[in-house]
Structure 1
Amino acid sequence: MQLSSKLNNPATRNNIKSTTIYSLSPRFYATNLILLAIFGLLFLLWSRHESLDIALSQRWFDPLTQRFPLQHNRWLDLINHRLVKDAIIAGAVLLLLSGLRQRNGRRVLVALLFGLGPLVVGLLKAHSAHSCPWDLALFGGKAASFVLLDAVPANSGPGQCFPGGHASSGFALMALFFLWWPEHPRRALLALLIGMLTGLLMGYGQVMRGAHFFSHNLWAGWWVWLSQVLIFAGVSFWMNTMRKRDGSH
């Protein structure tokens, strides 16, 4: 693990860089967990005071027709809801196949992170009692709205709308951070930023359609990144423990 950390840095020549799954420093994980805790508290405050969510969604709601005019918009549905998501999935599959062909464990793991983050969000969403804005009485539907951590009302509606499942596909791009860190830190940080922006843009497209509140997307990004950090930490720790054990025999 120490040797891998020394090999993999911006000054290391390409021909001797290690492509193994190596453990990142305790400081890296501590920093991420602290930031996740801080943002988790901020997102909780946002969700507990739903006025910001409602204000953002009302911009795209027509009170005269009692509907979201862009709910069935062709371009939002085709480009944002389908093509971008399909492109990300295709890229993850290509990365996985490339990793398997080259026997590059890090590429395989990063490709799996693309799917595991959204999978966690999907599981949470499937068991959520929060309904989408277009189902709420506030926006022409019939379901009752309630803030995060409050008791679920009897007429909560169909639910299954928290966190934002679609946005998680965009946030999945943050997995590329682990492909390039620490050999290419600028590229890794750029990938992280692009993943954040893609998730937020895809999520806001759903806000425009009435499919999600904006906080749903913020939580999606939070859960995706938490999942990616913990899974990478667990797998890298296990792989390096096994490597040490094999080397000692």
Structure 2
Amino acid sequence: MQNSRNRFYFNHVGIPLFLALVLFVSFDLTGLDVRFSDWIYNTSTHAFPLQHSKLFETITHKWARIIPNWTGEAAIIGALLSFLWPRFRAEKHARMMAWLEKVRIAPALRFLTRHRRDLLFVVLSFSITTGAIHYFKSHTSIYCPVETTLYGGTEQQKEWYENFNLLHDAGKGRCWPGGHASGGFTMMALFFVARRYRWRHARKVLAFSLILGTVYGTTRVFQGWHFMSHTPWAGIIVWFSMFFTAMVFYGRARLDPSVALQPERTLNATPTTTVVSPAQR
């Protein structure tokens, strides 16, 4: 049991912290970000490869938001509807419940009620993650490459730790960590839901989320709106936001595949109701 616990925290906390340390040492302390941006920056046109492509901007910046935005909106709607079915009572709403069964809305409402905890987790984890990203953006005030004097802008290029202010807004810069990348990484919330139910494709959900966030962030690098390290930093911050929120909602036993599950009392536990037709009353 102790080995299982240690392995769980090593995988979910230790490895991400190690990756953060590697990222800090290899990028933030070496100027590797600037060297990579120098490599893709065209000194003849004074622009990044895809900086002025409106089609690329539309596809990778505007349309790409659809996946996380619709996921969050669906979770909000589902969470609200999950409170609807338990309000029906057979002795008072028999006809309404019978009609909902007939049009096959009742099964969907029962499904949402059973998974209320998961829907609330997605909503809250999205909110906490968004708040964490905005906190670091405002409390580091880092400017994007195209805004710095290195690439035709007016602001000084700095590393995030040079400008970090724990309690107060550090300035007007809002480039670190990658906000667009974080939108893709927020899909990791579905990984924790899948892990709760021991779904065998949970790791595929995680891989999809990591790839999505990486693609979202990397496209912005080639537009000059982020340095390369901004994307993995966003992933690390989102991971910890999601993980600690999942621990509060589900607990380690539900997220650790090596722990035998025990019956749980959930937010979505509701009394069983039976539809009674008027003829039976």
TM-score range, shorter-chain basis?
Answer: 0.7 to 0.9
Say whether 1:162 aligns with 2:176: yes
Pick from 113, 119, 129 the counterpart of residue 117 of structure 1. 129
Taking only the aligned residue pairs, the percentage that are identical comes to 28
Say whether 1:208 aligns with 2:222: yes
Say whether 1:144 aligns with 2:156: yes
Pick from 44, 66, 77 the counterpart of residue 57 of structure 2. 77
Pick from 212, 217, 235 the counterpart of residue 198 of structure 1. 212
Aligned residues: 215
Alignment-derived partner of residue 42 in structure 1: 22
Q: Which has the larger radius of gyration?
A: 2
**Unpaired runs of 5+ in structure 1?**
1-23, 245-249
Say whether 1:63 aligns with 2:43: yes
Instruction: Tell me the distance in 2 between the aligned counterparts of 1:99 and 1:122.
Output: 24
Describe the SS at the equivalent of 2:155. Answer: coil
Note the C-alpha offset of 1:82: 1.0
**Unpaired runs of 5+ in structure 2?**
83-111, 165-169, 255-263, 267-281
**TM-score, length-scaled by structure 1:** 0.76
Note the C-alpha offset of 1:63: 0.9
Note the C-alpha offset of 1:137: 1.4
Counterpart of 1:190 in structure 2: which amino acid?
Answer: K
Note the C-alpha offset of 1:84: 1.3
Note the C-alpha offset of 1:160: 1.7
Pick from 50, 63, 67 the counterpart of residue 87 of structure 1. 67
Note the C-alpha offset of 1:76: 2.4
**TM-score, length-scaled by structure 2:** 0.68
Indicate conservation of the 8 Å contact 1:134/1:141, yes or no. Answer: yes
Counterpart of 1:236 in structure 2: which amino acid?
Answer: Y
Instruction: Tell me the distance in 2 between the aligned counterparts of 1:205 and 1:143.
Output: 22
Indicate conservation of the 8 Å contact 2:139/2:171, yes or no. Answer: no
Instruction: Tell me the distance in 1 between the aligned counterparts of 2:133 and 2:230.
Output: 10
- Runs of 4+ with >4 A deviation: 24-27
Indicate conservation of the 8 Å contact 1:44/1:148, yes or no. Answer: no
Instruction: Tell me the distance in 1 between the aligned counterparts of 2:265 and 2:207.
Output: 33
Indicate conservation of the 8 Å contact 2:129/2:241, yes or no. Answer: yes
Instruction: Tell me the distance in 2 between the aligned counterparts of 1:182 and 1:114.
Output: 17
Note the C-alpha offset of 1:108: 2.3
Instruction: Summarize deviations over 1:192-245 as a string: whole Å, max 9, x none.
Output: 1111111111000110110000111111000000000011112335xx9x959x
Instruction: Tell me the distance in 2 between the aligned counterparts of 1:176 and 1:151.
Output: 34
Instruction: Tell me the distance in 2 between the aligned counterparts of 1:74 and 1:48.
Output: 31
Q: 1:111 to 1:27 in 2, by over 3 A?
A: farther
Note the C-alpha offset of 1:132: 0.6
Q: 1:57 to 1:157 in 2, by over 3 A?
A: farther
- The structure carrying a bigger helix percent of its residues is 1
Instruction: Tell me the distance in 1 between the aligned counterparts of 2:131 and 2:153.
Output: 28
Instruction: Tell me the distance in 2 between the aligned counterparts of 1:233 and 1:61.
Output: 43
Note the C-alpha offset of 1:147: 2.9
Describe the SS at the equivalent of 2:201. Answer: helix
Alignment-derived partner of residue 128 in structure 1: 140
Q: 1:33 to 1:62 in 2, by over 3 A?
A: same
Indicate conservation of the 8 Å contact 1:96/1:112, yes or no. Answer: no
